[in-house]
Structure 1
């Protein structure tokens, strides 16, 4: 099986979204998301995909949805109805499996993840979507980069 990597921007209070929106704008953070995910397979929920509004170039996109009739509107976007199905489809494409949100998809995928790349945003915004809690003792910090307005933390599963 390919490595599963959760990539997320997470506020200090755990918020990752407010409805379909990200409740902050931090210059440079999305550029780094592009660098980390380029050439890989993105697995994301329907709401996350629809908030982006299109497949991201240079990456294979798999949309996870319970809606069996869902049409992503782009023939190159794949649809899966379970995380297992998404991972099987991802195995047919180049690159690692990047879990790109939202909260339910992160919660389902985190137990399978070997790595997390988290942009920690030093804010406490209101929001209805939260990154799942995880046992920090099961993860080792392998790198930390400090940028203006956020820090990027690289974690690797050790348990």
Structure 2
């Protein structure tokens, strides 16, 4: 099993505000779709509820402590250990608590960095390039729909750290 984080954060590691993303960036949504389609995404209950439904063409898994929580369109798990039992390429999809709990477990991270500062109440955990090696950096293309400067990073955990 390959375990990755996929996230989008601003310069101050903001990932959300009032259970929503504080920006609209179609390029990032396309990248998420391209990377996660056919794979598994794991998210916390609040992230799932902010989406309103499971994302199509991939296995959706929701982690919650609520043993009675059930969903018609997603699998529900109750512990981090259950993530390790999932097959294939698994993407940690948010939010803040799940990122914090899995940061030390993941093999790599797909990060979109928004070159702005936003108001936020949910944050991505601090990480350094001492822990992760940069495999690629790609400047996001700007157009009439993608007006926020951004970069796509693929980071791999350094094995000797």
TM-score, normalised via structure 1 length: 0.91
Q: Which residue of 1 aligns with 2:154?
A: 154
For residue 101 of structure 1, the aligned residue among 94, 113, 124 is 94
Superposition deviation, residue 131 in structure 1: 0.3
**Pair 1:79-2:76 in alignment:** yes
Secondary structure of 1:69's counterpart equals coil
Superposition deviation, residue 26 in structure 1: 1.6
Contact 1:87 1:97 in 2 (8 A): no
Secondary structure of 1:34's counterpart equals helix
Superposition deviation, residue 3 in structure 1: 1.4
Secondary structure of 2:8's counterpart equals strand
**Structure 2 unaligned runs (5+)?**
143-148
Secondary structure of 1:47's counterpart equals helix
Partners of 1:34 and 1:81 in 2: CA distance: 25
- Number of matched residues? 152
Q: Which residue of 1 aligns with 2:17?
A: 18
Q: Which residue of 2 aligns with 1:145?
A: 138
Q: Which residue of 2 aligns with 1:45?
A: 44
Contact 1:26 1:150 in 2 (8 A): no
Superposition deviation, residue 15 in structure 1: 0.3
Q: CA RMSD in A?
A: 1.1
Instruction: Trace 1:128-143 onto structure 2 (pairs within 5 A).
Output: 128-143=121-136
**Pair 1:110-2:66 in alignment:** no
Superposition deviation, residue 58 in structure 1: 1.2
Runs of 4+ in 1 over 4 A off after TM superposition: none
Secondary structure of 2:55's counterpart equals coil
**1:91-136 Cα distance to aligned partner (Å, 9 max, x none):** 3xxx301000000001111101110010000111111110011232
Partners of 2:136 and 2:20 in 1: CA distance: 28
Contact 1:43 1:100 in 2 (8 A): yes
Going by fraction, where is helix more abundant, 1 or 2? 1
